[in-house]
Amino acid sequence: MKFSTRAASIEQLRTGCAWLPVTGGKRLTPSGEALDALAGGRISAALASGDLSAKAGATLLLHLDGGVRRALLVSLGDDDEASEKTWNEAIRAAFRAAGTLAADDAVSVLHEAAVAGRGAEWKLRTQVAAGREFAYRFEELKSKRDEQPVRPARVALLVAKAGAARAATEVARATALANGVDLARDLGNLPGNVCTPTYLADAAKKLGREFGMKVDVLAERQMQALKMFSLLSVGKGSDQPPRLIVVHYQGASSRQAPVALVGKGITFDTGGISLKPAAEMDEMKFDMCGAASVLGTLRAVAEMKLKINLVGVIAAAENMPSGKANKPGDIVTSMSGQTIEILNTDAEGRLVLCDALTYVQRFKPRTVVDIATLTGACVIALGHHHSGLFTREDALAAELTDAGREAGDTCWRMPIDDAYQEQLKSPFADIANIGGRAAGSVTAACFLSRFAKGYDWAHLDIAGTAWKSGANKGASGRPVPLLTRFLIGRSEG
């Protein structure tokens, strides 16, 4: 599905379908009124008859004569000003209804409706995001793909001439973001026998070639030389060798300190010797969604050509049980020199991330954000709506929270007080890799904080938001929108 902007009046259009917002139960916006006049009052007559429910997301299709062959009326609810919730319901309903039509193209003026606290650019971006989500299909590994085309193939967003240039920029950025989300979803949806650490490294190299980014891939021997024995220990039980993947995007002066994104890339997580239950273990292919979000964000940033320097670091490994695997009670030495007692081999994400957080110091980043499907405890705490945000930096917390709210990809700040560090004490090593059931997502973040030195740091636990279960199982692409919006803010700040 391709999006564009068009600076014209609705009377000038030739299109298979025009999407018209209806507010207050029966009121049209200016473009709707203009099309109604052209159609001899047929649209207002249909509204007066009560054929369109006032419930947000209700739709009514009218066939017209002339350049606009169909009008899809979309209700935004009883109020003159829609809420974000009713707006989202309405635009999703528009794509669903349009998807049943034979029209290959459409023109939307839904953004003429008022949304509380939101401007025109936000309404344009959210339409692109909703449309691309509606159009997304993962059929790469099917022998027969859905032959039914996604409709409409093209959607034009009607804008005023005065703001046409800015609107076009926003739609282009929204498209770049959608491309990044799709990449993250594609990688997340691949099975573990395809998406191995080596596959992730190859995907990063391909991305680097496409957008002119430098990519370095560290193999086991190089990681051994760096004494990354915590990361290496996680991959010992697998036939798939671990990889440390580093991608450099330079959009600003080399004098500008980069932002670094560090992603957990456990391409399949059995739990190791601390084996997970069999039920739903297939979903542990999604345990590399932090890594996928790093590559998706890099793609979006590169396509947008943001004026910022960005480093993506991915710690990739497969966590399997075998005679070589980590055992509960084993002690490993991290790149930082700190020793770690592994009390649970299923708390492996923090073991790969801690070495990546030490490694990233060499780039002298001003800010580091790590992203990981780290703890089931975060799902218990926040469900599937918010990602968990952990940081000691109030300003950074505000930046990320605001970016998530703007992008519709929200996070919620959680505590990371030193008091929780007590739970990680070990009588045999510098630190244990778990701190018990209580506050499990907090103690995981506290563990990582021991290694995040020399830069501002935040941790995003996306265990509840990176994928969906059930009939619509699949990777969500989160938090690519949050991270990209955060980086847009940094590039413009």
Q: Give the pairing type, strands 114-115 and 81-82.
A: parallel
What gap in Å lies between CA 44 and CA 95, rounded to an integer?
22
Q: What percent of the chain has pLDDT over 70?
A: 100
> pLDDT tens, 253-290?
999 999 999 999 999 999 999 999 999 999 999 999 99
Closest to 60 in 3D by CA, of 34, 21, 86, 114? 21
- pLDDT of 414 > 90? The answer is yes
| Predicted confidence (pLDDT) at residue 144 exceeds the cutoff of 90 | no
Whether 20 and 42 have beta carbons less than 8 Å apart is answered as no
Percent share of the chain, pLDDT over 90? 97
Q: Does residue 173 carry a catalytic annotation? A: no
* Omega within 30 of 0 (cis) for the link into 481: no
Tell if the pTM clears 0.95, that is, is over it: yes
Would you give the DSSP letter of residue 161? G
| Domains of the chain with CATH codes | 2-158 (3.40.220.10), 178-492 (3.40.630.10)
**Which of 2, 154, 276, 413 is flagged as catalytic?**
276
Instruction: Say whether pLDDT at 493 is over 80.
Output: no
**Nearest 5°: phi and psi at 261?**
-115, 130
- Active-site annotation holds for 27: no
The residue annotated as part of the active site, out of 132, 236, 285, 350, is 350
Tens digit of each residue's pLDDT (9 = 90 or more) over 424-464: 999 999 999 999 999 999 999 999 999 999 999 999 999 99
